[in-house]
Structure 1
Amino acid sequence: MTAATGGVALVTGSSSGIGAATVRLLAAQGMRVVVNYLSSAEAAGEVVAGIEAAGGRAMAVQADVREPAAVERMVEQVQAAWGGIDVLVHNALIPYVVKPFEDITWDELGGKLEAEMHAAFAVTKAVLPAMTRQGRGRIIYLGTVLSRQPRQGMIALGTSKAALAQFARYLAQELGPRGITVNVVESGAVEGTRVGANVVDDEMKQRRLAATPMGRLARPEDVAQAVAFYAGEDNTFMTGTTAAVNGGLLMY
């Protein structure tokens, strides 16, 4: 794929999993990357060190994306160091419960919805002024196939990510005239991630493998490739779309 050279990418929740794979790939393609983390300072430092050892440029910044003030401080720190943010990849996983509707409380379901949207709102608000001034930007949200294909116990995650996907479409409509694209990457279960562990036990994994044309679960690097495609400098006309990274398990 065509490398998206230059620019600065902020990837929330990128000390491990999909986020870490994404910053490594974007850095390899020539971008300066911001490794955001909540509490895993050591893991974030290792990601930065690995990128720098490979010749890339990276910095780790702590911030709870559910806290607008913390997000503002993070963006200000990045702007002071590197002058701006060209790409926002909102990947940070907001905690959620795994329960059927019959057992879940409104605080658990409504709380996940509120936290999911509040985080997306805060990080987008923080990067938007600079993107608007420069007349270009890339915003990519990480979703899940669970927003389209329900699974027992996953109502909190699936419902909140469905709301995030619709939020992205509204933003795509509004921000297109400013040269800012907004897209979503929806994966199925991903090996080695917390979502993957919550969604599939061994028995479910075997059933999913049998139903997936590609014959395996996604890897973090598979999702990172789709994110990098949306982040590319040359990808100026795709907005309001969703990339399905699930090996053909669900086709749309």
Structure 2
Amino acid sequence: MALITGASRGIGAATALELAEQGYRVVVNHRASAPQAEEVVATIAASGAQAVAIKADVTVPDDVTAMVDEIDRRWGGTDVLVHNAMTPFAITSFAKLSWEQLGGKLDSELRAAFLRTKAVVPGMISRGYGRLIYMSTGLSRHARDGMITLGTAKAALDQFVRYVALELAPHAITANLVAPATVEGTRVTEQFTAERMREFAAATPMRRLVRPDDVAKTIAFLAGEDAGFTTGHSLPQGYRTMKG
């Protein structure tokens, strides 16, 4: 069973569809997008796979606990967690940045990852199996004007996941990150002009933006048996990682 947070659209929806196609039963988590989440569930059901939408704010402990309890009752536990839900952040320069903006993003980013991981790991340990997959961004390593809050928060998430991976490896539980460059059709990209988006695309090796399906297929690999010895890694997408 796979739980994908923030799965009503974009990367999350693409991941839900991909994992359902791979044979997973899927929980489509959302915070306030019930119609879109139910549409994803309907698409999955039409293909013959099983899915359910569950409303929960991943930064609220009681919501997370209730969601996990419902999953346990329905399907006996979570085998794959895809931590995809994006918490809000300010696009601003350091000169205009307030501590409330930076500290708020750090808190919400790590709180969501911490709560979800704490909730599913005991069951994974008891079953001796688990896949933890977290959405990061290349901005945690490659700075870009205006993205200091997101880049800093995701850098903290990256290190959190490395420690989780180290501790849980003896239990056959893997923890990895997927770190795409700019992904088309997300809430983040909606804040940029068309000209800026063309610049982002031109800066990638393939001269196009990352697509949600690209990310979903990488997540599906990390969720599968072939990635059983892959843990503590960050898989970049769309960045120039080699220098000639």
| TM-score of the two chains, using structure 2 as the length reference | 0.97
Aligned counterparts of 1:91 and 1:126: Cα–Cα separation in 2: 16
- Indicate the residue corresponding to 2:148 in structure 1: 155
State which of 82, 105, 112 in structure 2 corresponds to 1:112: 105
Aligned counterparts of 1:209 and 1:119: Cα–Cα separation in 2: 30
- The 1:251/1:55 distance shift into structure 2, 3 A limit, reads farther
Encode CA deviations 1:151-188: one digit per residue, 9 max, x unaligned.
11111111000100110001110000011000000011
State which of 172, 183, 193 in structure 2 corresponds to 1:201: 193
- Indicate the residue corresponding to 1:240 in structure 2: 232
For residues 52-131 of structure 1, the aligned pairs below 5 Å read: 52-131=45-124
Q: CA deviation at 1:249?
A: 3.6
- Indicate the residue corresponding to 1:9 in structure 2: 2
Structure 1's consecutive aligned runs of 4 or more residues displaced over 4 angstroms after TM superposition are none
| Native 8 Å contact 2:182 2:200 kept in 1 | no
| Native 8 Å contact 1:146 1:154 kept in 2 | yes
Encode CA deviations 1:24-68: one digit per residue, 9 max, x unaligned.
000000000000000000100000000000111100000000011
Q: Does 1:210 align with 2:202?
A: yes
Please give the root-mean-square deviation of Cα atoms over the aligned residues, in Å.
Answer: 1.2
Aligned counterparts of 1:217 and 1:21: Cα–Cα separation in 2: 16
| Native 8 Å contact 1:208 1:249 kept in 2 | no
SS of the residue 1:26 aligns to? helix
- Indicate the residue corresponding to 1:4 in structure 2: none
- Indicate the residue corresponding to 1:3 in structure 2: none
SS of the residue 2:175 aligns to? strand
Aligned counterparts of 2:163 and 2:146: Cα–Cα separation in 1: 28
Q: CA deviation at 1:209?
A: 2.7
Q: CA deviation at 1:250?
A: 4.4
Encode CA deviations 1:113-158: one digit per residue, 9 max, x unaligned.
0110000000000001100000110000000111111111111111
| Native 8 Å contact 1:244 1:251 kept in 2 | no
Aligned counterparts of 1:219 and 1:141: Cα–Cα separation in 2: 17
- Indicate the residue corresponding to 2:43 in structure 1: 50
Aligned counterparts of 2:183 and 2:5: Cα–Cα separation in 1: 17
Q: Does 1:21 align with 2:21?
A: no
Aligned counterparts of 1:123 and 1:210: Cα–Cα separation in 2: 36
SS of the residue 2:48 aligns to? coil
Q: CA deviation at 1:11?
A: 0.4
Q: Does 1:228 align with 2:212?
A: no
Aligned counterparts of 1:211 and 1:187: Cα–Cα separation in 2: 13
Percent of aligned pairs with the same amino acid? 53
Q: Which amino acid aligns with 1:184?
A: L
SS of the residue 2:188 aligns to? helix
Aligned counterparts of 2:217 and 2:225: Cα–Cα separation in 1: 14
SS of the residue 1:46 aligns to? helix
- Indicate the residue corresponding to 2:29 in structure 1: 36
Aligned counterparts of 2:198 and 2:226: Cα–Cα separation in 1: 39
Aligned counterparts of 1:134 and 1:251: Cα–Cα separation in 2: 40
Unaligned stretches of 5+ residues in structure 1: 1-7
Aligned counterparts of 1:183 and 1:236: Cα–Cα separation in 2: 11
Q: Which amino acid aligns with 1:169?
A: R
Moved more, 227-236 or 72-81: 227-236
- Indicate the residue corresponding to 1:170 in structure 2: 163
Q: CA deviation at 1:208?
A: 2.7
Q: Which amino acid aligns with 1:226?
A: T
